[in-house]
Amino acid sequence: CYCAKYSGIVEDCCCDYETVDGLNEEVLHPSLQELVRTAFFRYFKVKLWCDCPFWPDDGMCRLRDCSVCECPDNEFPEAFKKPHYGLSQDDPICQEGKPQATVDRTIDSKAFRGWVETDNPWTTDDETDNTEMTYVNLQLNPERYTGYTGPSARRIWDAVYSENCPKHPSEESCQEEKIFYKLISGLHSSISIHIAADYLLDEARNLWGQNVSLMYDRVLRYPDRVGNLYFTFLFVLRAVTKAADYLEHAEYDTGNLMEDLKTQSSMRQLLFNPKLQAACPIPFDEAKLWKGQHGPDLKQKIQQQFRNISAMMDCVGCEKCRLWGKLQVLGLGTAMKILFSVDGPEQLGQTLQFQRNEVIALMNLLNRLSESVKCVREMGPSVEKIMEGQ
């Protein structure tokens, strides 16, 4: 029985696997799916081209399924330039024969009023560098298999683990370091699950589907990787619930009244759901961290390591992977900013401010993790049966 394999409390968290699965199925996944489709949450501002601070580009960007199309402004369809924000997926799309990718540079001055520009000490991403940034419609650029593999991808993961986040935290390593490792590993599991769940099975027929052996080989056969995925999900969920009052009152105005009402209602459904509050009110307890004499130094060290990982996303040699890598690392950085900057939720609104992009990244990250948890729950038992029967 699968639930026997993953039962009990998720390590270092305050909820058990079954509760997480139930809440995800009933509450979190449906609300998040609605939320990330709204005009506010589907556009992410990002600098996409390679300017890797660590090593020169290795030319991997040419892979077909890696590309996020950036069109010259004069190629944008007129509909994109009109002051309406609810782009439908049927709109004609400026593309190199690849309709699932598009970048909209035009919405910045029209939409998203009422947000501040502020720093995130956990990441190197800066939303204010307007000349080099574009908007990407995330719904049209799904995270999935791109063909990005080999030494370039391996070099990034190796650097992430070996230099910045030790892969096998030693017995003496402290709680904070273990948690940092688990967050990265959980994110890695989620990326692998998305690759396996939406895989190019047959290039000639452009046939996409699930790659069960890949899902097994990369994630399911390692219970710790599955556990780390659940851990990361609960960590980010805790950040979102801690910031509930801030998120409820944030400015989601994009000029499209119907869409904006939908955003607010999905957000409230998610944040103040009685089932969530009853079953798992505090998914992770951050109050126990950074205690003791070395707490502040340790926090600074881990913060710097996470900033390195954030900068490393510019070295990902595949545009679409870089897009999702940057978004999810910014989302994780935002979760850490929420959890590790102030003690209680009541202080949060008074002392912390967020960039719009941070909130977009945070909620899209939570949605990605929720999708991965759902996928593991639904596919895990049958994938294991197939693979272990072979």
**Interface with ligand FAD by CB under 6 A: which residues?**
143, 145-146, 148-149, 153-154, 156-157, 185, 188-189, 191-192, 195, 218, 225, 316, 320-321, 324-325
- For ligand FAD, the closer CB: 188 or 377: 188
Contacts of 320 by beta carbon, 8 Å cutoff, 6+ apart: 65, 66, 67, 68, 101, 141, 143, 146
CA dist 274 and 278 (Å) reads: 6
Min dist. Cβ of residue 61 to ligand FAD (A): 13
Min dist. Cβ of residue 101 to ligand FAD (A): 13
- For ligand FAD, the closer CB: 143 or 177: 143
- For ligand FAD, the closer CB: 146 or 254: 146
CA dist 25 and 207 (Å) reads: 28
Min dist. Cβ of residue 383 to ligand FAD (A): 16
- For ligand FAD, the closer CB: 112 or 122: 122
- For ligand FAD, the closer CB: 247 or 312: 312
In 3-state terms, what secondary structure has residue 307? helix
Question: Is residue 349 within 8 Å of residue 245, measured between CB atoms?
Answer: yes
Residue 65: how many CB atoms within 10 A of its CB?
19
Contacts of 383 by beta carbon, 8 Å cutoff, 6+ apart: 212, 215, 216, 220
Output DSSP code: residue 359. Answer: H
Min dist. Cβ of residue 261 to ligand FAD (A): 32
Min dist. Cβ of residue 163 to ligand FAD (A): 14
- For ligand FAD, the closer CB: 20 or 39: 20
Dihedral angle of Cα 241, 245, 247, 251, to the nearest 10 degrees:
170
Min dist. Cβ of residue 231 to ligand FAD (A): 11
The alpha carbon of 180 is separated from its chain's Cα centroid by a whole number of angstroms, namely 16
Min dist. Cβ of residue 218 to ligand FAD (A): 6
Residue 352: how many CB atoms within 10 A of its CB?
14
- For ligand FAD, the closer CB: 239 or 321: 321
Instruction: Dig out the tokens for 177 from the structure.
Output: 């370091």
Question: Is residue 208 within 8 Å of residue 200, measured between CB atoms?
Answer: yes
